[in-house]
Chain A
Amino acid sequence: MASHKMSARDVNVFYGEKQAIRNVSIDVDKENVTAFIGPSGCGKSTFLRTLNRMNDTVVGCRTEGRIELDGEDIYASEMDVVLLRARVGMVFQKPNPFPKSIYENIAYGPRIHGLAENKSAMDHVVETSLHRAGLWNEVKDRLQESGTALSGGQQQRLCIARAIAVDPEVILMDEPCSALDPIATAKIEELITELRGRFAIVIVTHNMQQAARVSQRTAFFHLGELVEYGATADIFTNPTQTRTQDYITGRYG
């Protein structure tokens, strides 16, 4: 039985008057990759962003319910959002490297959190992070070049390396491959598989095969509700809900 890293209970999210998430309860495993699937607009991104409180930055967005990280309520007033986001990192749909050098992109997080004492410690952090993101060999000779000069797939791995560099416990990925070609996608999937176990990973995807390939747990969302959540193999071969089955077999979505 896998242990839970994060757990959400009865979460409701509103954009102004409009409710985007209804009564979602879900546990995210420590050692597994969890996939969120569901038709467009069903609230996958919204729910993902409640997990590191990125929705706080959206004007008019309100979250109800309880979300715990290792048993601590992340919406409690004692929870510091800066520290929370250092523990729960995020990778976005479109690669968004900073317009700085590759080195500075990685060093950004460790620097603001004071994770490296000196230059050589920082060099070490940068190198390990790039290694883990499978990017080191491609960029080791051009660390001072701009991060925006890399290819889309490399940029996305740079963003993953950037998230890894602050040594998070959870990494949230919102459709990390939707802007990439199949080869770059395959690399990211491989990377996710390698990172599994070291970090709890949650990935939003529209690609059913991708969810089947990289995840062990799958959650199916529909119209703001969590319809079904279980082992990936079960969800894809043997869904209990007709809505899940309809979606997986491509009847809508």
Chain B
Amino acid sequence: MPLSMIAVIVLALGAIAFAAARSKARLFKPVGTERLHSRPNYHAAHMLLWVVVPALIFVAMWSFVAPRLINQSILTSPAASELPPPGIERDAVLNEIRDLATGKLEVSFNPAAEQLAPVYRDARDHYTILGGIAAALLAYAGGGYAWTRLRREFRARNRVERAVMVVLVAASLIAIFTTFGIVISLLFESLLFFQKVSPAEFFFSLEWSPQTAMRADQVGSSGAFGAVPLFWGTIFIGAIIAMIVAIPLGLMSAIYLTQYARPRFRAWMKPLLEMLAGVPTVVYGYFAALTVAPAIRDAATWAGIPGASSESALAAGVVMGVMIIPFVSSMADDSLAAVPQAMKDGSLALGATPSETIRRVLVPAALPGVVGGVLLAVSRAIGETMIVVMAAGMAANLTLNPFATVTTVTTQIVALLTGDQEFDSAKTLAAFALGLTLLIVTLILNIIALRVVKKYREAYE
């Protein structure tokens, strides 16, 4: 009987308890003019919580503890003396034992596994039954406690409300802890990397060629981990070329939509523009690699520009810029719309034309919001992966030529982690260091952007 069965049983007990508590609570009658504090459903929900929550928490914890206990009993059984010493090999045998016992594996490779499979099965049944009994006891205990409190005056509603709040808090904490978890795991792997490669080399050296020797006698692959060309490529594509495309187009379309477009047209156009943000990035990637990049290369070769490549910074940057337009335009749209009509009227009443009003009053007033939008867009652009993987190329070039191929942080992370890897080589670990750098930079950009936007909002309230 697997643990999930136990959970189902606990829930069934909860349902019974709910029904029982409700029918009892229905009999409560108000005394005099005083109203009932909690309606029957609240009493029942309180009951349900006490039956289900402690037992389910126990089941969840048990599902972590039980496998360890099972392993423990395998290792202490007499036949375990034939197992290899702790390490990868022993883990492999333990996996084999489990697969044999659960029927995933028909034949064993390891004689010890064959012997130990029944031990595994016994231990598993033993601990599952133990867990089941404990869960049931907890459910009864919780239910019993709640039952003793099931009285007319009991303020079940407040308790249930508090439980709901706890659930909501827990949900938001999960998101926060996940972020922390990501940062910590990245940090950990990055520290391993920086033991092998000095931070000075990583952040300041200009050469990137992460192929390290697999065997000592291999030649020509000493590995160089200077990430500057990647940082440059990322900035060149995401913060320069993409923004040269996205800022004017986004801003102008926002101006058009807020100031000139008729409401009916705006109602159509705005969602359409925002749809650009919903196009899967891999589709942009195709477009960049198959349509834009060759066109740019042909044009550049025709114009006689040296170093034109079929994977160019320009192609990736332009397409990324198009992808980013909605970010810029929707932020600009919001902040333009937030500029009071009175400000506009004041300018028009002085005889300014609509475009003078936009240029001299609206845009300056909306600027902080626009800047915030642009910063968010940049942080989105430098973290963008698919477009650059497909269109930017792999060569780590430190170049100002937008027609040449460059590579980015995200592209290299993908390159470093795909294929067969040793998980403790500098090459693999470099991916984490890159990821951490990217994460920190985007985090900072986001914080600044939110600050700017918030400050701006206050200015008009």
A-side residues, CB < 8 A to B, are 52, 54, 57, 59, 82-86, 89-90, 92, 94, 96-100, 108-109, 112-113, 159, 162-163, 166
A99 touches B350 (CB 8 A): no
Tell me, in angstroms, the Cα distance from A97 to B342 when the chains sit together.
Answer: 9
A85 touches B343 (CB 8 A): no
B346 touches A159 (CB 8 A): yes
Question: Would A108 and B347 be within 8 Å (CB), given that A82-B352, A99-B459 are in contact?
Answer: yes
B364 interfacial by beta-carbon distance below 8 Å: yes
- Contact for A113 among B343, B348, B351, CB less than 8 A: B351
B161 interfacial by beta-carbon distance below 8 Å: no
A96 touches B345 (CB 8 A): yes
B349 touches A99 (CB 8 A): no
B351 touches A166 (CB 8 A): yes
B298 interfacial by beta-carbon distance below 8 Å: no
Tell me, in angstroms, the Cα distance from A94 to B342 when the chains sit together.
Answer: 8
Tell me, in angstroms, the Cα distance from A85 to B345 when the chains sit together.
Answer: 11
B248 interfacial by beta-carbon distance below 8 Å: no
Tell me, in angstroms, the Cα distance from A82 to B349 when the chains sit together.
Answer: 9
B350 touches A162 (CB 8 A): yes
Complex interface: chain B residues within 8 A of A83 (CB): 351
What are the 6 tightest A-B residue pairs by CB atom distance, in nearest-first order? A86-B351, A90-B349, A85-B351, A96-B342, A109-B350, A96-B346
Nearest CB of B to A38, in Å = 22
Nearest CB of A to B452, in Å = 15
B122 interfacial by beta-carbon distance below 8 Å: no
B84 interfacial by beta-carbon distance below 8 Å: no
Which one of B32-40, B330-338, B353-361, B428-436 is at the A interface? B353-361
Tell me, in angstroms, the Cα distance from A97 to B361 when the chains sit together.
Answer: 10
B254 interfacial by beta-carbon distance below 8 Å: no
- Contact for B340 among A54, A96, A100, CB less than 8 A: A96
Tell me, in angstroms, the Cα distance from A244 to B288 when the chains sit together.
Answer: 73
B139 interfacial by beta-carbon distance below 8 Å: no
B350 touches A163 (CB 8 A): yes
Complex interface: chain B residues within 8 A of A100 (CB): 364
Complex interface: chain A residues within 8 A of B49 (CB): none
Complex interface: chain A residues within 8 A of B365 (CB): 98-99
* Residue of chain B at shortest CB distance from A91: B349
Q: List 17 A-B contacts (CB under 8 A).
A: A57-B348, A59-B262, A59-B263, A82-B353, A84-B351, A85-B351, A86-B351, A92-B342, A92-B345, A92-B346, A94-B342, A96-B345, A98-B343, A99-B365, A108-B360, A109-B351, A162-B346
* Residue of chain A at shortest CB distance from B365: A99
Further pairs besides A100-B364, A112-B353: 12, Cβ < 8 Å: A84-B351, A85-B350, A90-B349, A98-B365, A108-B352, A109-B351, A109-B352, A112-B352, A112-B360, A159-B346, A163-B349, A166-B351
A166 touches B342 (CB 8 A): no
Q: Interface centre among B262, B347, B361, by most A CB within 10 Å? A: B347
B351 touches A82 (CB 8 A): yes
Tell me, in angstroms, the Cα distance from A57 to B340 when the chains sit together.
Answer: 14
